[in-house]
């Protein structure tokens, strides 16, 4: 078998999203609209976000941003819950809202012939929610059921415990879907006030991709949301600084009756604005993603057979999201799995990566770009990402060169800045105590 | 193009042919992105397993990633990944499928890889042993989910003879004792050209692609495929009930009716019935339907404040499988109450035809979901092969036309035929409350 060569893939730059095929317009009220045409199928995706999220929640109202987002489709001043869903489902379209820490995102999809209907519902939900009390009560009950399910989910419990360890006294330690005791206490007035104070067009991004002329798409957004104002919208609070982790912080959550443990291990990582973010992302790919889970997969899954999944993630985002390793492991193997993962983190920050690993992963990042941009959803996610982080309309056309320019030294520096096998938050959720 | 090649009449032409060793080939040119999606489908899944060897098809799928002499383990991962590709595999009731999506100029790697591992996988004993613990870990991860534990018991109650009785992952006892020789024998029995379909869609020229496929796959020896006869499940005579106790605070209800196979003439009417009752389901590789808040069961159960969620699941299978209805019960309600309300809605369907508007809505939803599902090259390649697992490609090509022909009377007829209590298994997950502690 011939050895793969070390050249990097060459992409047809003109086929990638760029200034010549993306229409960008900033509306007078501050909304930034992006549109890209794709007539290969008769459908359209609309997605974006506005700056209202769990960071805006008071501590005793955790989950408010999230519940407010879910309640937007429960009734508006013009439509009842049933009117909204009869309209959307009868045309085979979809529309949903969800809040994270920093923002409330929306996602919609429809046939090209129904774009006006979808945008009308989107604008109505954003601008005119009525939060009918009977619907909010039902939503609350559904949410409480969801929290009861979360309470028994080993993966979710390990992540919650990890966030508490890694982000002490920080908003990232609080789950955006809240707690039973906070959700039970939220009132319709809370939702109304949250909407009044935090929903507005300022810094909102909306993106339309699919079978519609870009000019027509932007005009349609302007017609539905261009006159929306909220001069009272408050600014999101500044994130407090992250405390540096010292030593190994460990928490074990025991869930009797389960068969397997979930393990989350890591530290607060870089935001997407970190200057060497791409180097960190390449380092992460080598650590726990490339092929079937990178070096960690080789060690924990392939060599030792300890886990079905064991991979690393670098969350990036607007703030210091986690750089973490996640694994599903039998309780008796937890100690061994943690040791192997620590060894791989140690190897990354002492030895760095090899030239061959760097080249393989650069090729992987560049070569996989067309797959990520194949669907309307993929393009919409990419356009929002580009705008959100100020990467420039030509970002994806520059992307192959940006990846190719990363050096081994940059990866080593980025890894050393964040990772240390002796300073980690480790959370385990699963059966019994034999894993401790 | 030689005499046995056939182009279908769909607006995007499909080349269908069979090689001399029995391998079926389906090719569809799509030039919207510089990508090619390659799928190879084997007619082997949990349906082809005997007691004592359950889970063996899925395990063989795992072993197919452990390398050959030409592509040793690790080299495979590296070559696919560094060429910007993605790959995966799926084992289901009736099939095992392997897929790669590659930049168009790198597809040859995927073609060579699949031809090689159809015949030359090593199944090293040490790899078998390390994969045993990986698969046990996979099963334990599934056991953590109450819905898995309930579904496993419901299937076991629904099928007393047919192999749909057990989960694809297999019984834990079997996972502990299956040997390397068992696995290798299963591989050699089913991974033969005449038991497989190779399906590609994407940025290529059909004739050039077919020439390359012939070059790589025609030398593979034709061996007779294993002729496995699954035991026929006799008609169920009366309702069966199962209860599963486990940790948590949330009750689940699964009501599973014996349903027709995917190629059955009744299947499309049942698809519309499911859309009316629990909401429209998608045609994407990994599901993806619409919200279901105007479905009858959402109105009755969720708006009726009995449940937090409801969904339906109708599968296209070789043999008659199950139409499952899932209810996540609210903590202040009981599964028995949810069943009462569900039964009221089932009676409505049996007593009188659904409204013409409900059928029209289902048809429009099917059209939209079909458009969404046709967007990606991978989805197109998926349907080229998947449809052949339970029917043929015309099933997919004619899907919208056949759905559009369904009338309220057709839906009424299948409701009366399939939604009888004697034809179902009722499963309840009853939590034994025990709070987590830290």
**What would the pLDDT profile of A227-239 be if each residue is shown by its tens digit?**
999 988 899 999 9
Question: Among the three residues A225, A260, A286, which one is the final residue of a domain in this structure?
Answer: A225
Whether the per-residue pLDDT at A220 is higher than 80: the answer is yes
pLDDT of residue B436: 42
CA B329/CA B253 separation, integer angstroms: 7
CB contact under 8 A, A91 and B364: yes
Q: Is residue A237 part of a domain?
A: no
Same domain, B109 and B192: yes
Does B339 map to a domain?
yes
Q: How many distinct structural domains can be found in chain B?
A: 2
A400 has a pLDDT exceeding 70? yes
Q: What ipTM was assigned to the predicted interfaces of this complex?
A: 0.90
**Which residue in A has a C-alpha nearest to residue B144's C-alpha?**
A258
Query: What pLDDT score was predicted for residue B222?
Result: 83
B87 Cα to chain A: minimum distance (Å): 9
Residues found in chain B: 438
Domain contains B345: yes
In a domain, B60, yes or no: yes
As a whole-number percent, the residues of chain A with pLDDT over 90 amount to 89
A216 in contact with B, Cβ within 8 Å: no
Are B211 and B267 members of one domain? no
Query: How far does Cα B94 stand from its chain's mean position?
Result: 8
Interchain CB distance below 8 Å, B293 and A149: no
Average pLDDT, chain B: 92
Shortest Cα–Cα distance, B435 to chain A (Å): 8
pLDDT tens profile B87-124: 999 999 999 999 999 999 999 999 999 999 999 999 99
pLDDT at B372 over 90: no
**Cα(A374)–Cα(A17) distance, integer angstroms:** 11
How many domains, chain A? Answer: 2
Q: B175-196: b or e for each residue (b if 16 or more CB lie within 10 Å)?
A: beebebebbbbbbebbbbbebb
Shared domain for A134 and A256, answered yes or no, is: no
pLDDT, residue A3, reads 46
How large a percentage of chain B has pLDDT more than 90? 84
Of A170-179, B13-22, B280-289, where does mean pLDDT reach its minimum? Answer: B280-289
Q: Tell me what the mean pLDDT of segment A14-25 comes to.
A: 94
Range of the domain at A258: 248-430
Q: Check residue B286 and give its pLDDT.
A: 47
Is B223 within the bounds of a domain?
Answer: no
Q: Does B43 share its domain with B177? A: yes
Question: Could you tell me if A195 and A343 lie in one domain?
Answer: no
Q: Does residue A432 carry a pLDDT above 50?
A: yes
Tell whether B1 is covered by a domain: no
Q: Is residue B145 part of a domain?
A: yes
Percent of chain B past pLDDT 70, that is, above it, reads 94
Residue B266 has pLDDT above 70, yes or no: yes
* Record: contact B331-A145, CB cut-off 8 A: yes
Residue A5 resides in a domain = no
Asked whether residue B206 falls in the same domain as residue B251, the answer is no
Average pLDDT, chain A: 95
Mean pLDDT of B382-388: 95
Residue A218 located in a structural domain: yes
Residues B321, B411 within the same domain: yes
A214 and A268 part of one domain? no
Find the CATH number of the domain harbouring B346: 3.30.830.10
Average the pLDDT over each of A299-313, B153-167, B260-274 and give the range with the smallest value: A299-313
Looking at residue B435, its pLDDT comes to 46
Which residue, among B98, B141, B381, would best test binding to A if mutated, counting the most A CBs under 10 Å from its CB?
A: B141
Evaluate if residue B343 carries a pLDDT over 60. yes
Task: Give the Å distances, CA to CA, from A245 to A82, A249, A303, B79.
Answer: 50, 8, 30, 38
d(CA B22, CA B37): 22
| Judgement on whether residues B92 and B179 belong to the same structural domain of the protein | yes
Are A170 and A305 in a shared domain? no
Q: Which of A210, A225, A240 is the last residue of a domain?
A: A225
Tell me if A375 is assigned to some domain. Answer: yes
Enclosing domain of residue B136: 11-217
CATH number of the domain at A411, please. 3.30.830.10
Domain assignment present for residue B225? The answer is no
pLDDT computed for residue A4 by the predictor:
47
Instruction: Assign B150 a pLDDT band (cuts: 50, 70, 90).
Output: very high
Instruction: Indicate whether B207 and B350 sit together in one domain.
Output: no
pLDDT one-digit tens code per residue, A316-336: 999 999 999 999 999 999 999
Residue A14 included in any domain: no
Same domain, A25 and A115: yes
Same domain, A336 and A198: no
Measure CB to CB from residue A4 to each of B33, B79, B330 and give the nearest one. Answer: B79
Q: Suggest the residue from A6, A10, A331, A370 to mutate for an interface test with chain B (most B CBs closer than 10 A).
A: A370
Taking each helix axis as running N to C, give the angle between helix A395-404 and helix A355-367, from 0 to 180 degrees, rounded to the nearest 10. Answer: 170
| pLDDT the model gives residue B224 | 80
- Both B145 and B270 in one domain: the answer is no
Q: Which of B182, B217, B252 is the last residue of a domain?
A: B217
Phi, psi of A88 (to 5 degrees): -75, -40
pLDDT in tens, B395-416: 999 999 999 999 999 999 999 9
Q: Is the pTM of this model over 0.95?
A: no
- Is B196 in the same domain as B244? no
Q: Examine the domain organization and report whether A220 and A302 are in the same domain.
A: no
Give the model's pLDDT for residue B12: 62
Scanning A249-288 for CB atoms below 8 A from B yields: 251-260
Query: Does the distance separating the beta carbons of B82 and A363 come in below 8 Å?
Result: yes
Query: Are both A214 and A258 inside the same structural domain?
Result: no
A436 located within any domain: no
- Are the Cβ atoms of A371 and B132 closer than 8 angstroms? no
Q: Report how far residue A225's alpha carbon sits from residue A96's, in angstroms, rounded to the nearest whole number.
A: 17
Pair (A144, A97) in one structural domain: yes
Q: What is the mean pLDDT of residues A98-123?
A: 96
Same domain (yes/no): B141, B75: yes
pLDDT at A167: 97
Distance CA B26, CA B210 (A): 9
Q: Is residue A319 domain-shared with residue A257, that is, in the same domain?
A: yes
B247 Rama class: left (phi>0) / alpha (psi -120 to 50) / beta: beta
Q: Does one domain contain both A258 and A137?
A: no
One domain, residues A62 and A200? yes
CA A148 to the chain's CA centroid = 23
In whole angstroms, what separates CA B132 from the centre of its chain? Answer: 23
Residues of B in contact with A86 (CB under 8 A): 294
Task: Assess whether B177 and B249 both reside in one domain.
Answer: no
Q: Is the pLDDT of residue B434 over 80?
A: no
Confirm or reject contact between B31 and chain A (CB < 8 A): no
Q: Are residues B128 and B176 in the same domain?
A: yes
Contact across the interface for A96 and B82, Cβ inside 8 Å:
no
Task: Report the pLDDT averaged over residues A274-287.
Answer: 98
Q: Is residue B436 part of a domain?
A: no
Of B34, B292, B438, the CB nearest to A12: B34
- Residue A240 placed within a domain: no
- Picking from B34, B75, B367, the nearest residue to A370 by CB comes out as B34
What pLDDT, on the 0 to 100 scale, is given for residue B2?
Answer: 39
Is there a domain that residue A253 lies in? Answer: yes
* CB atoms closer than 10 angstroms to residue B30: 20
Q: Are A254 and A433 in contact (CB under 8 A)?
A: yes
Say whether residue B249 is in contact with chain A using an 8 A CB cutoff.
yes
């Amino acid at each position: 078998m011939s050895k793969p060569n070390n050249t990097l893939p060459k992409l047809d730059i003109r086929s990638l999203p760029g200034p010549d095929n993306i229409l960008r317009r900033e509306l007078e009220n501050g909304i930034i609209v992006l549109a890209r045409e794709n007539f290969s199928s008769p459908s359209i995706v609309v997605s974006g976000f506005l700056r209202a999220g769990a960071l805006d929640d008071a501590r005793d109202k955790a989950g408010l941003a999230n519940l407010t987002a879910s309640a937007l489709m429960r009734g508006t001043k013009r439509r009842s819950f049933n009117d909204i869903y009869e309209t959307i489902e009868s045309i085979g379209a979809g529309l949903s809202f969800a809040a994270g820490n920093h923002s409330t995102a929306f996602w919609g999809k429809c046939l090209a012939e129904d774009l006006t209907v979808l945008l009308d519902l989107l604008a109505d939900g954003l601008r005119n929610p009525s939060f009918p009390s009977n619907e909010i009560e039902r939503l609350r009950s559904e949410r409480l059921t969801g929290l009861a399910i979360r309470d028994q989910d080993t993966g979710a419990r390990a992540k919650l415990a990890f966030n508490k360890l890694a982000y002490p006294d920080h908003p990232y330690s609080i789950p955006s879907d809240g707690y039973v005791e906070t959700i039970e206490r939220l009132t319709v007035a809370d939702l109304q006030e949250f909407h009044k104070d935090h929903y507005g067009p300022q810094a909102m991004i909306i993106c339309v991709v699919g079978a519609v002329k870009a000019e027509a798409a932007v005009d349609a957004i302007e017609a539905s949301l261009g006159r929306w104002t909220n001069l009272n919208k408050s600014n999101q609070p500044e994130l407090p600084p992250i405390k540096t982790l010292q030593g190994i912080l460990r928490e074990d959550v025991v869930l009797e009756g389960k068969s397997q443990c979930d393990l989350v291990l890591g530290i607060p990582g870089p935001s997407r604005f970190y200057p060497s973010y791409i180097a960190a992302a390449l380092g992460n790919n080598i650590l726990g993603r490339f092929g079937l889970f990178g070096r960690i997969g080789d060690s924990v899954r392939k060599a030792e057979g300890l886990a079905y999944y064991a991979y690393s993630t670098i969350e990036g985002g607007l703030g210091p999201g986690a750089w973490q390793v996640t694994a599903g492991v039998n309780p008796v193997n937890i100690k061994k799995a943690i040791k192997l993962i620590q060894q791989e983190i140690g190897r990354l920050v002492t030895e760095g990566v090899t030239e061959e690993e760097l080249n393989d992963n650069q090729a992987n990042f560049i070569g996989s770009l067309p797959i990520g941009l194949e669907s309307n959803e993929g393009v919409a996610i990419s356009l929002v990402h580009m705008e959100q982080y100020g990467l420039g309309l030509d970002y994806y056309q520059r992307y192959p060169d940006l990846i190719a320019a990363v050096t081994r030294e940059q990866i080593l520096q980025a890894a050393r800045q964040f990772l240390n096998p002796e300073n980690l938050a480790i959370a385990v959720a699963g059966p019994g105590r034999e894993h401790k | 193009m030689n005499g046995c090649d056939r182009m279908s009449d769909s607006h995007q032409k499909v080349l269908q042919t069979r090689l001399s060793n029995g391998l079926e080939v389906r090719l569809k040119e799509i030039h919207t992105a510089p990508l090619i999606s390659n799928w190879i489908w084997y007619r082997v899944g949990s349906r082809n397993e005997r007691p004592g060897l359950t889970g063996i098809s899925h395990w063989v799928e795992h072993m197919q990633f452990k390398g050959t002499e030409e592509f040793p383990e690790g080299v495979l991962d590296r070559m696919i990944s560094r060429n910007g590709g993605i790959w995966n595999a799926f084992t289901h009731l009736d099939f095992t499928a392997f897929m790669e999506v590659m930049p168009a100029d790198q597809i040859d790697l995927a073609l060579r890889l699949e031809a090689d591992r159809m015949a030359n996988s090593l199944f090293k004993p040490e790899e078998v042993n390390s994969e045993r613990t990986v698969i046990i870990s996979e099963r334990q991860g599934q056991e953590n989910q109450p819905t898995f534990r309930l579904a496993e018991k419901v299937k076991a109650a629904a099928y007393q003879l047919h192999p749909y009785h057990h989960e694809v992952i297999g019984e834990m006892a079997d996972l502990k004792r299956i040997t390397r020789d068992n696995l290798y024998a299963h591989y050699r029995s089913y991974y033969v050209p005449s038991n497989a379909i190779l399906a590609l869609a994407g940025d290529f020229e059909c004739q050039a692609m077919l020439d390359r496929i012939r070059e790589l796959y025609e030398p593979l020896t034709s061996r007779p495929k294993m002729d496995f006869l699954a035991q026929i499940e006799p008609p169920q005579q009366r309702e069966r009930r199962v209860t599963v106790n486990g940790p948590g605070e949330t009750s689940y209800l699964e009501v599973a009716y014996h349903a027709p196979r995917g190629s059955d003439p009744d299947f499309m009417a049942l698809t519309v019935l499911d859309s009316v009752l629990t909401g429209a389901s998608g045609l994407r590789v990994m599901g993806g339907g619409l919200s279901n808040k105007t479905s009858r069961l959402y109105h009755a159960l969720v708006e009726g404040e009995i449940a937090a969620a409801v969904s339906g699941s109708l599968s296209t299978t070789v043999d008659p499988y199950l139409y499952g209805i899932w209810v996540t019960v609210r903590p202040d309600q009981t599964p028995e109450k949810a069943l009462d309300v569900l039964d009221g809605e089932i009676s409505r369907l049996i007593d009188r035809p659904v409204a013409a508007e409900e059928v029209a809505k289902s048809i429009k939803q099917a059209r939209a979901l079909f458009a969404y599902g046709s967007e990606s090259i991978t989805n197109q390649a998926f349907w080229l092969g998947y449809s052949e697992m339970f029917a043929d490609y015309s099933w997919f090509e004619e899907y919208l036309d056949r759905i559009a022909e369904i009338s309220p009377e057709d839906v009424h007829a299948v409701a009366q035929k399939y939604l009888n209590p004697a034809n179902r298994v009722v499963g309840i997950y009853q939590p034994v409350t025990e709070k987590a502690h830290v």
